[in-house]
Amino acid sequence: MLESLTLTNFKAFSRHRIGLAPFTLLTGLNSSGKSSVLQSLALLRQSYESGDLTPVGDTEAGLLLNGELVQLGTGQDVRYEFYDEHGPHIGLDVQGDGASARWSATYEQEADHLKLLEEESQAPRDAASLAALLPTLFGTGFQYLKADRISPQVSYPRSHHAVSSRGFLGPEGEHTVNYLRAHQDDEVTSEQLRIKDAASSSLLDQTRAWMQKLCPGVSLDASGIVGTDTVRLSYTFGSGASRSNAYRPTNVGFGLTYVLPIVVACLSSKPGSLILLENPEAHLHPQGQTWMAYLAGAAAAGGAQIVMETHSDHVLNGLRLEVKKGRLQAEATAVHYFRRSGQTSEVVSPVIASDGTLSEWPAGFFDEWENSLDQLLD
Ligand SMILES: Nc1ncnc2c1ncn2[C@@H]1O[C@H](COP(=O)(O)OP(=O)(O)O)[C@@H](O)[C@H]1O
Ligand SMILES: [Mg+2]
């Protein structure tokens, strides 16, 4: 498990250490630095996968700013503009899995590969050693799902490499339908994630059962389209004699397809998986947002690590309920509230107690209900 991340001169952060738990919630106003935290982890993962962190031959090691997971621009975009007290370099420090590593990169205004400083970085330069040192970040089971995900479509791409060799759903969840098709008979091994009254413990039946909690009566299938390199997703509603025809995603509400990558990411997670989720509550009704915390909480209780950016008080309350109900330990949670302070971002971290209460309630932290009610009752 990753225990902390320290960002130095990275985007909105001068220097900040962010503690990570099995289920970490990042929240706060717009443009307060939440996505930057997810991006820093995705940047390391992307630079590892491309070989930039561990180059062979004469190539220089560095951070790859633009790739499959994130497109951050150039040095000028990622270095904290008002750098000063912590020197001119960009630093990413990760602690976890009983180890720690540091990457310190030089600044070059127009470069999209920022060279690592040998003398300031502390991390193995070969891929196998790096994966062995920090398996949570560099091992199998990594997912990063951005806020902008796949919309309902008639067909989806079929990439053998993504779903079979890498087990990757894609940053927009674009490989989800093909993953579900290829892995539908895989067992959901985690007891916490398995819904008992589902037809079986297969990934497909468990996905259906979780989706039914969001939308009662729904079922779904993922199948190949013969003669093409695409796959199809279809939904049915009801059962027995009242069962509907198979509907295309484009003829079914947006929210179902939008949430599917998150359901599949959580259900296919294993102990040691790392799942980064950006605004998973998008397009979900309020009860569905609480359900999102139940789902991600179950993945965390089953041994995966979740880092989630959210604007949803229902997700926050859902997480508090998971703790209160005893499904997730209070110590397995971390909540960080981001806000701008002058030219940098600062973070307040209320602690969830075992009864679900929060240690503090900073101004602006999910207080809109109360603010509006005060004015309505005035
Ligand atoms: N190079 C930079 N130097 C200083 N601040 C930056 C830099 N790049 C982005 N920011 C700041 O980071 C914030 C955006 O961070 P982001 O993580 O996308 O926010 P959120 O996800 O909370 O909406 C903005 O306030 C922006 O001003
Ligand atoms: Mg964001």
pLDDT given at position 254: 87
Which pLDDT score, from 0 to 100, does residue 70 have? 97
Amino acid at 368: E
Whether residue 33 has its Cβ less than 6 Å from ligand 1? yes
348 Cα to the center of ligand 1, angstroms: 17
Statement: residue 364 has pLDDT above 90: no
d(CA 265, CA 336): 23
pLDDT at 368: 87
The model's pTM is 0.96
Please give the Cα distance from 38 to 357 (Å, whole number). 26
Closest ligand to the CA of 338: 1
Q: Assign 344 to helix, strand or coil.
A: strand
Rounded CA gap, 187 and 323, in Å?
26
Angle formed at CA 200 by CA 284 and CA 152, multiple of 5 degrees: 30
State whether the beta carbon of 158 lies less than 6 angstroms from ligand 1.
no
| Ligand 1 near 79 CB (within 6 A) | yes
pLDDT at 249 (0 to 100): 94
CA-closest residue to ligand 1 atom 5: 12
pLDDT in tens, 156-185: 999 998 888 899 999 999 999 999 999 999
At position 26, the amino acid (one-letter code) is L
Give, in order, the Cα–Cα distances in Å from 363 to each of 28, 150, 357, 367: 11, 35, 17, 7
* pLDDT at 362 (0 to 100): 87
Non-local CB neighbours of 302 within 8 Å, separated by 6+ positions: 190, 191, 192, 193, 269, 271
Mutate to test the pocket of ligand 1, among 36, 72, 77 (most ligand atoms within 8 A of CB): 36
- Indicate the pLDDT class of residue 22, thresholds 50, 70 and 90: very high
Ligand 1 touching residue 81 (CB < 6 A) = yes
Q: Which two tokens mark 188?
A: 């959901």
364, two tokens: 């602006």
Closest Cα to atom 8 of ligand 1: 11
Paired tokens of 12: 């909105």
Determine the Cα–Cα distance for residues 153 and 136; give it in Å rounded to an integer.
33
Q: Is the pLDDT of residue 6 over 90?
A: yes
Q: Which of 13, 31, 86, 90 to mutate to test the pocket of ligand 1 (most atoms within 8 A of CB)?
A: 31
Rounded Cα distance, 5 and 17, in Å: 6
Tell me the domain boundaries of the chain. Answer: 1-141+311-378, 145-268
Residue 320 backbone phi and psi in degrees, to 5:
-60, -40
Mean pLDDT confidence for 58-78: 96
Structure tokens of 196? 């008992």
